[in-house]
Structure 1
């Protein structure tokens, strides 16, 4: 066995057993996963339990931080004592179903989606509740089921791991760190060296962007990929269909750049063989694309010229629930017409400027709403989007699309450089896919365009989630 292999096995054993994690983590409980189906349409939702299983590795999380108070996501998991009702564990999240139900298709038919929630194994029967946001933007119970993790029907044996995890970055025992798992899709056996290089390159870039840069020692990073027969993933709009274990593909909800997997069971059955709390899927493609669902996973095209941006931007959605701040690109979602205050930390309906959620970052004298060259930006963007659509329709080389993106970024920076509030934090109208009624904190941020940094408000949102999963190194 090579020295590298011995180090990997040693690191995996240390993480799995939580050696050195202190008395509170001397014996981590098992990891419970509840698989269920979530179906419905725009108007209705139904849930049905599929199975309860014990995953192969112990719980990777910090048992001293069982409750999520971030108030993010469209849903919340609550695990409570079945007899007393005492809350034992909670986490906020969103779902693919939640995004799909905002599409036009959801007005016409019903669909079912596979979903999972994970929690540390309790020592008693529990009631698992899935909550969702209601018309008041508050969480209310959507589904509840009693679970006895010691029952005979609980699945306790798993097949051999389909791939071996690689240690990309090990900063310490899992219970004290954020565990990020990078999965590969569309990588053949011959592509495995490329996958490892992609995972190292892109995760390293993540830790060059604040606040991940300052908190790099609070993360472990793992990587694994189940080999495919062909390089690249499915892209239906161009007639490309490739089989893969994860089933990741382009053209989700009719958006040519949107990349997700809709096979949650396959995703979880593969991911369970590595410690993880967050997942980023790298697809072995050069076509621009990615996606991110808060608390589920994010994706990025690893071979695209903008892979660094894609990795970080989409991870911002998945990790911290950050909203998209752009609004001129076409999306699959339909506007409800209502302007409810967003739960995302970097978007607001600005109903009361005095109660602006990021008010601490706003300097005295900054007007709310905050002026910016909105009309000039939108006029240019309309022409830019026409050119972008034409390139895709003609299936032009990806290099031409990348050149257009570079041109757009240069133009935006030049336009904004002359604006009075260029470097201010305020409330800039245009965010959350809407030209009016929603506001973003900064004129420019990685959640708005392909610029390289998160604004201070987004950095705060990210730091809060890091603190939830890791014990800060001081």
Structure 2
């Protein structure tokens, strides 16, 4: 018998069992638990906002619990009766970055978040956990949720028009990327669709996305704004836009983000999605990306290709920044006495768990930043915004600079692992 056919026969029962387990505990729609993360540089508090039922579930029906241990936060969903872990997901957030700024030492702020998971059949317990300075997770909030509770909102999402850019299979078997229009007026929707097609093409021009194109679905969601463009507070420019994106996040002129996550979640709910990308109608350089949360980029800068792909590396695969000589607003972002969770950064504390096995035996550790090691997978000091104490895999990578032509082998491996996780 054909070996490929034998493998399919062997794999089919595992897929069936996984889907049966999903059906036992969940429905193919989403529960969205909205909350605020609030506090300052030392404290964090969760403030519940609302719970919504949404019509789509795009995630895997088999891989329901996180295996990567990435993110500065995570949430876990347990069956209330048995205590069994049913679903978990790590994520990062703008709040955690803000906590490391000077402002967080003197004031409190809140940031809007959501924990989104398959809609449960029965009562569950939700736990939200924050990664501590020592690297471990600590529960900061727990609640019980009864899916029969009539206070769970079941309103239909706004039926925005959308254009399918890539369609390669069922949402639960693919990576589902939705691109939302920000700062495009109703009259500019044709431009948005063209821009969304172009930037998604940038993604599939680079490995490992190029080799995995058939594992992606991409949808452009037509979300018109009143004004064209985006806020640039440092230049006294303010626009009335759908998602209130703004430059000068943390007073950095190139840092483009949005805190209006409620509007984003409400809009994205009209289609199945795994990851949200906000495409901002601007020629200015800038963007931002947060693991399992959000990516943001402008549409028409000469470096849009590089930024779009870089920010997706953050948002989709949890990759860390490998640059170390650019100005940032963060203070004490990494604890150098523990291993960072990002797969492409190391402090050498637990390097065995990173990319040590990918090194040539002749490569010195640490690896000097010398031309003879250009293109070599090594351990180069500098990364994570620090010139000392943190190391990155190569001298240049898509996660370090716009001059790099591709992701390094370590980042490529990490991206591939996340793609595979979504598609099983």
TM-score w.r.t. the length of structure 2 is 0.92
2: CA distance between counterparts of 1:33 and 1:95? 16
**Pair 306,282 (structure 1): closer, same or farther in 2 beyond 3 Å:** same
1: CA distance between counterparts of 2:319 and 2:335? 20
**Matches of residues 253-272 of structure 1 in structure 2 within 5 Å?**
253-272=250-269
The question of 1:449 aligning with 2:401 is answered: yes
2:151 corresponding residue in structure 1: 153
2: CA distance between counterparts of 1:327 and 1:293? 18
1: CA distance between counterparts of 2:157 and 2:56? 17
Q: 2:328 aligns with which of 327, 331, 334?
A: 331
1:387 corresponding residue in structure 2: none
2: CA distance between counterparts of 1:337 and 1:159? 39
The question of 1:298 aligning with 2:295 is answered: yes
1:180–1:219 Cα contact (<8 Å) kept: yes
Compute the displacement of 1:316 (Å).
Answer: 0.3
2:128 corresponding residue in structure 1: 130
2: CA distance between counterparts of 1:54 and 1:352? 41
Compute the displacement of 1:245 (Å).
Answer: 1.6
2:10 corresponding residue in structure 1: none
> What SS is found at the alignment partner of 1:29?
strand
**Pair 356,276 (structure 1): closer, same or farther in 2 beyond 3 Å:** closer
CA distances 1:408-436 after superposition (whole Å, capped 9, x unpaired): xxxxxxxxxxx111111010011000010
**Matches of residues 232-271 of structure 1 in structure 2 within 5 Å?**
232-271=229-268
1:379 corresponding residue in structure 2: none
**Pair 337,97 (structure 1): closer, same or farther in 2 beyond 3 Å:** closer
**Pair 449,337 (structure 1): closer, same or farther in 2 beyond 3 Å:** closer
1:366–1:426 Cα contact (<8 Å) kept: yes
2: CA distance between counterparts of 1:347 and 1:337? 11
Compute the displacement of 1:225 (Å).
Answer: 2.9
Compute the displacement of 1:135 (Å).
Answer: 3.4
Compute the displacement of 1:281 (Å).
Answer: 0.9
**Matches of residues 371-450 of structure 1 in structure 2 within 5 Å?**
371-373=368-370, 419-450=371-402
2:243–2:264 Cα contact (<8 Å) kept: yes
TM-score w.r.t. the length of structure 1 is 0.82
Q: 1:209 aligns with which of 171, 191, 206?
A: 206
Q: 2:366 aligns with which of 366, 369, 381?
A: 369
Q: 1:312 aligns with which of 309, 315, 328?
A: 309
1:402 corresponding residue in structure 2: none
The question of 1:358 aligning with 2:355 is answered: yes
Q: 5+ residue gaps in structure 2?
A: 1-14
1:49 corresponding residue in structure 2: 48
> What SS is found at the alignment partner of 2:347?
coil
1:467 corresponding residue in structure 2: 420
CA distances 1:307-337 after superposition (whole Å, capped 9, x unpaired): 1001100000000110000011101111257
2: CA distance between counterparts of 1:330 and 1:96? 17
Compute the displacement of 1:190 (Å).
Answer: 2.0
2: CA distance between counterparts of 1:248 and 1:80? 35
Compute the displacement of 1:139 (Å).
Answer: 1.7
**Pair 217,22 (structure 1): closer, same or farther in 2 beyond 3 Å:** farther
The question of 1:40 aligning with 2:35 is answered: no
Compute the displacement of 1:352 (Å).
Answer: 5.8
2:229–2:280 Cα contact (<8 Å) kept: yes
1: CA distance between counterparts of 2:210 and 2:131? 33
Segments of 4+ moved more than 3 angstroms:
21-28
The question of 1:169 aligning with 2:189 is answered: no
**Pair 352,90 (structure 1): closer, same or farther in 2 beyond 3 Å:** closer
1: CA distance between counterparts of 2:353 and 2:378? 9
**Pair 120,290 (structure 1): closer, same or farther in 2 beyond 3 Å:** same
2:69–2:341 Cα contact (<8 Å) kept: yes
C-alpha RMSD over aligned residues: 1.7
1: CA distance between counterparts of 2:354 and 2:210? 25
2:324–2:382 Cα contact (<8 Å) kept: yes
1:101 corresponding residue in structure 2: 99
CA distances 1:229-271 after superposition (whole Å, capped 9, x unpaired): 2211111111110011211111111111111110111110111
Compute the displacement of 1:78 (Å).
Answer: 0.3
CA distances 1:189-211 after superposition (whole Å, capped 9, x unpaired): 22111110111011011011111
> What SS is found at the alignment partner of 1:121?
strand
